[in-house]
Amino acid sequence: MMQEKAVKPNHNLILENRKSLSISGITDVDSFDEKAICLYTQLGELTIQGKELHIDAMSVETGDMTVTGDIWAIVYGDKDRRGPLSALGKLFR
């Protein structure tokens, strides 16, 4: 009997001229506004910071997202966190 290995989707970022960002491997979006987009990927937390940020497209099925705006920073957070914290978890973080 052969065991099937779970195929983990890739996580990729493509930043073009600091104006357009394509991301794959997204598992959840925590929050977003014109200055920051906080989301979770296969590899943990990811925050995109900038000005006039806009989510142009997002596919829940594939985990792909396209963001446009003036992108200033792309910051990875906790590698072990793959989803939002509960309210109690946020208190003790």
pTM of the model: 0.76
Q: What does the DSSP assignment read for 77-89?
A: --TT--SPPPHHH
Structure tokens at 50: 């900038």
β-strands 44-59, 36-41: how paired? antiparallel
Query: Can you list the positions of beta strands (E) in 9-78?
Result: 12-16, 20-24, 26-32, 36-41, 44-59, 64-76
Tell me the pLDDT tens digit for each residue of 52-76.
Answer: 999 999 998 899 999 999 999 999 9
Mean per-residue pLDDT of the chain: 83
The strand pairing partners of 20, in sequence order, are 16, 68
The strand pairing partners of 28, in sequence order, are 40
